[in-house]
Amino acid sequence: MKIEIPFGQKLVEATLPEGTDLLRMAEPEAIANPAEEIAGALARPIGCEPLAVIAADRAAQARGRPRACVVVSDNTRPVPYKGADGILMPLVRTIANAGFAWGDICILVATGTHRALAQYELEAMLGPEPFELGIEVVNHDSRDASSLVDIGTTARGTKACINRRYVEADLKILTGLVESHFMAGASGGRKAICPGIFGEEGTFVFHSAKLMADPNSCDLQIKDNPVHEESLAVAKMAGVDFIANVTLDGGFRITGVFFGELEAAHAAAVAKLKSYVGIPTTTSYDLIITHGGYVAMNHYQSAKAAVASLGALAQGGSLVMVADHRDPNPIGSDRYRTTLSLLKIIGAEAFDRVLASSGWTFIPDQWQVQMWAKVFKRIAMHDFVYFAPQLDDRDWRDLPGTDGRNLLSADRRVSPELDDAATVIERAVAGFLAKRGFTAEDVAKGRCRIAWLADGPYGIPVSTPGNR
């Protein structure tokens, strides 16, 4: 069975045993004319007045020169901002036409607790027009107390400190991509504020061990999801005038445009998302092969793909994963690396007990490691083969799992490339079969169950009755 591993525009071909199941989300129809759809969504939004009307009203009510804040995602999300079919310039032109000067429009990058984007990254993501027009583009900094405003505390105790530029703006707009999210159920909507432009201290509750351990804090689950509920509570406290969300297919083409009121527009986007990303399966697989997808710019982000596989991965099974870590820091923050090292040393069960103990001091980024712990409660660490060519021996001192580079020949191991992912996958599968006492014939006849999760973190296996 031939498969193609997507690394951005690059596809790497590998061969899997015949009888391997292909798990792929349904193919939604891409919008034929995105620019026309975007214009229509601005004029006929979901659950509120058109943006032109809202913007004009906010401009009229402003004390002094009206200011607008448009929140955008960072480059870990493939949001279509730039170009003729992008969502950003139609938004800011509508704002400007309503009475806001270009210099009084701020584009605020919702980095959350991620690093700030460099100028070249901002230009690559947003295109040249915002900068040519004199629009201010600012990275959120969750640790800069002077840039935050305390707007109160949620019922669960989350301290809501929000970026000052957003809080003090007369017009507040959120943008983003709605895709499955392994904690909040789905991205987009309220997440642009919490955690996008949130103070780091607020994550102590929002991303606490208790909320992360809740069974409803998972992919595609919105109802009774405490992470979603907390994020929405903070967003409502901060105030939102308009959101501009989209859904995409596997090729990052727009499949839906959902502009309008915070909850109504986001709910419509989630409904669209659920119509095609869930992959019903009645089988628990002995081995799953997957990839990190666009989001896996570093090891921190690749947790999403690993957790997505759990809907189809058998207890005690094996997982093979490849990724392209394009970020300058291919692991993540020092705090993430340190906490991940603790997981590697003490194991998943003990790690969760430590995080839940009264003596543990919360460390930002521990939430992502807690997601990895879910994976290692399902499979042994040595049964997780992971390959990203950017990782070296120093990195692997802190990473749980088996270094996929060790499956390469000595000359390739020194400076591996993305093309080596095929060799890693093929040899990892062969090693799995040999270790478990299976043959290619066992795969072909269904005695050994192997699956290729073609969409990586974006297609979500959903166990259905009869799963075995």
What is the residue range of 198's domain? 34-276
Q: What is the pLDDT of residue 36?
A: 98
Q: Cis (ω within 30 of 0) for the bond into 400?
A: no
Q: What is the pLDDT of residue 466?
A: 53
Structure tokens at 39: 């214009």
**377 and 441 fall within a common domain:** yes
**175 and 131 fall within a common domain:** yes
Pick the last residue of a domain from 225, 253, 276.
Answer: 276
**90 and 131 fall within a common domain:** yes
Query: H-helix or E-strand containing 350?
Result: helix 348-356
The CA–CA distances, whole Å, from 429 to 198, 209, 280, 385, 392 equal 42, 34, 24, 10, 22
Q: What is the pLDDT of residue 465?
A: 60
Structure tokens at 161: 């400190």
Structure tokens at 78: 């493939």
Pick the last residue of a domain from 242, 276, 310.
Answer: 276
**337 and 429 fall within a common domain:** yes
**339 and 397 fall within a common domain:** yes
One-letter identity of residue 9? Q
Residue 171 domain flag: yes
Q: What is the pLDDT of residue 468?
A: 46
Structure tokens at 149: 């405003």
Residue 374 domain flag: yes
**19 and 45 fall within a common domain:** no
Residues 6+ apart with CB under 8 A from 398: 331, 337, 338, 340, 341, 344
Residue 113 domain flag: yes
Domain count, the chain: 2
CB 203 within 8 A of CB 195: yes
Q: What is the CATH number of the domain that holds 39?
A: 3.40.50.11440
**395 and 303 fall within a common domain:** yes
Q: How far is CA 325 from the centre of its chain?
A: 14
**Based on C-alpha coordinates, what's the Rg of the chain?**
22
Burial of 326 from C-beta contacts in 10 A (0-12 / 13-18 / 19+) = middle
**271 and 377 fall within a common domain:** no
Residue 153 domain flag: yes
**69 and 216 fall within a common domain:** yes
- β partners of residue 248: 254
Burial of 109 from C-beta contacts in 10 A (0-12 / 13-18 / 19+) = buried
| DSSP sequence for 193-224 | TTTTTB-GGGHHHHT-HHHHHSTTSSTT--TT
Q: What is the pLDDT of residue 251?
A: 86
Q: What is the rounded CA–CA span in Å between residue 104 and residue 380?
A: 54
Residue 353 domain flag: yes
Q: What is the pLDDT of residue 128?
A: 97
Residue 468 domain flag: no
Q: What is the CATH number of the domain that holds 380?
A: 3.90.226.30
Q: What is the pLDDT of residue 114?
A: 84
- β partners of residue 148: 163
How many CB atoms sit inside 10 A of residue 308's CB?
Answer: 27
- β partners of residue 254: 248
**321 and 264 fall within a common domain:** no
Residue 319 domain flag: yes
Q: Cis (ω within 30 of 0) for the bond into 34?
A: no
**270 and 299 fall within a common domain:** no
Q: How far is CA 69 from the centre of its chain?
A: 23
Pick the last residue of a domain from 276, 305, 336.
Answer: 276
How many CB atoms sit inside 10 A of residue 431's CB?
Answer: 15
Residue 149 domain flag: yes
Regions in the chain scoring below 70 on pLDDT: 465-468
Q: What is the pLDDT of residue 108?
A: 98
Longest dimension (CA), the chain: 75
Q: What is the rounded CA–CA span in Å between residue 72 and residue 187?
A: 13
**366 and 231 fall within a common domain:** no
